[in-house]
Amino acid sequence: MATSDLFLDIPGQEQAIRQLQESLADPLHAYAFLGPQGSGSLRAARDFAAGLLCENGGCGICESCFKVRRGIHPDVLYHEPDGTQYKLDHVTPRKDGPPAHETITGQAQRRPLEGPRTIIIIERADLLRLAAPALLKTLEEPPPTTVFLLLANDFPRDLETIRSRCVVISFDSLQPTTIAEWLIDQGIGHELAASLAEGSAGDADRALLLAKDPDYVQRLALWQQVPDRLDGSGSTATELALEVHNSLKDASAMLEQLQAQELDELTEDSKARGERSLPGKKELLDRHKREIRRFQTNELIAGLAILARRYRDRMLAAERSATPSAPETMRACGEAVDTIGQLVSMLPRNPRQPLALERLFLQLSHEA
Ligand SMILES: [Zn+2]
């Protein structure tokens, strides 16, 4: 393993990585990667899958490793919920549901196509509640060639049965300083690294992507201006919400461009190999969609974190000033921070983003 290329680009998770590298020698049938989004757990799961399929024990550079890491290996199957919970017919074949080979338990029974194993990666496994009983038996005793990798921030108590069937690999949430140091290692200047780490929402991948994004500083400034620009009028709040919403939409342009480039390169490669179409194209496009969704959510979370910090700074300034109006300012800013926190906690279930932003800004303009 000493010369492996796997797990190199995951900062701050030495213990988890060591555990995974040791597991490659004699893997079990189910692993739970527990840690916040952006902590590197998804990247680690992908590299672990590469290691499980690699003929060289996890080199990171052979064709099989390359395919897994690009998300186009036919034996690595990704799942995420279509809605707020995994539906039963996503997990197990049902009458009028998707065909068995698209369900999780159906895929668990399939023979690997190219490599020695089938790897099933279940993202947001904390949303398995409804379907957990249907998955449990397969998770306990899958065919010997199937390995499950479940990803979740954490498991709610009623999914303890699922968790107890898995080897748990824990990922810590990344501190901005860890991300900043990692960015500096990648050759990014100190000042930019600190600013990127602040806007990264604890996600090192996102920070690196933002480093290539010429509009990032502008978006950061927009969020920082919000408290000063809110003037108590409803029309200002609405306008500002629209402006922020549009900047969020534009934000993924950079990622979309990189994805288009990746698709072109892989298509050229496969043409050069004489293939009529790109194998794994559907998997690749699915991965791209997941990446965009994740990026946009993180962009919003990072923006809201910047906003909350502005109100916290105001609160501290008021405390220090000790003027007669200080207690009122502190109370109002505290309420603003709470309001922002509530929206963040609702985000995964709240796709109606423009409305939610408008409501938030209206509330903030009355509060502080
Ligand atoms: Zn390899």
Q: Is 46 in contact with 69 (CB distance < 8 Å)?
A: yes
Closest CA to 312 of 220, 227, 202: 227
Q: Can you name the residues that pair with 122 across neighbouring β-strands?
A: 79, 150
What distance in angstroms lies between residue 30's CA and the mean position of ligand 1's atoms?
Answer: 21
What distance in angstroms lies between residue 17's CA and the mean position of ligand 1's atoms?
Answer: 17
| 104 phi and psi angles, rounded to 5 deg | -65, -50
What distance in angstroms lies between residue 56's CA and the mean position of ligand 1's atoms?
Answer: 5
Domains of the chain, start order: 14-170 (3.40.50.300), 213-367 (no CATH)
Give the integer Cα–Cα distance in Å for 363 and 366.
Answer: 5
Half-sphere exposure of 63 (CA within 13 A, CB side): 7
Helices (H), the chain: 14-23, 41-53, 63-70, 88-91, 104-108, 132-140, 160-164, 176-185, 190-198, 204-211, 216-229, 234-251, 253-272, 281-321, 326-346, 353-367
| 53 phi and psi angles, rounded to 5 deg | -100, -15
Q: Can you name the residues that pair with 147 across neighbouring β-strands?
A: 119
Q: List Cα–Cα distances, 118 to 29, 104, 126, 144, 147, in angstroms.
A: 11, 11, 22, 10, 6
What distance in angstroms lies between residue 57's CA and the mean position of ligand 1's atoms?
Answer: 7
Q: What is the H or E stretch that residue 368 is in?
A: none
pLDDT in tens, the chain (368 residues): 445 789 988 899 999 999 999 999 999 999 999 998 889 999 999 999 999 999 998 999 999 999 999 888 999 999 988 878 899 999 999 999 999 999 999 999 999 999 999 999 999 999 999 899 999 999 999 999 999 999 999 999 999 999 999 999 999 989 889 999 998 988 888 988 888 888 787 888 788 888 888 788 788 889 989 999 999 899 999 999 999 988 888 888 888 999 999 999 888 888 888 888 888 888 889 889 888 888 888 888 888 888 998 999 999 999 999 899 899 999 999 999 999 988 887 776 655 677 888 889 998 988 76
pTM of the model: 0.77
What distance in angstroms lies between residue 72's CA and the mean position of ligand 1's atoms?
Answer: 14
What distance in angstroms lies between residue 309's CA and the mean position of ligand 1's atoms?
Answer: 44
Give the integer Cα–Cα distance in Å for 96 and 185.
Answer: 52
For 199, other C-beta atoms within 10 Å of its C-beta total: 22
Q: Is 53 in contact with 45 (CB distance < 8 Å)?
A: no
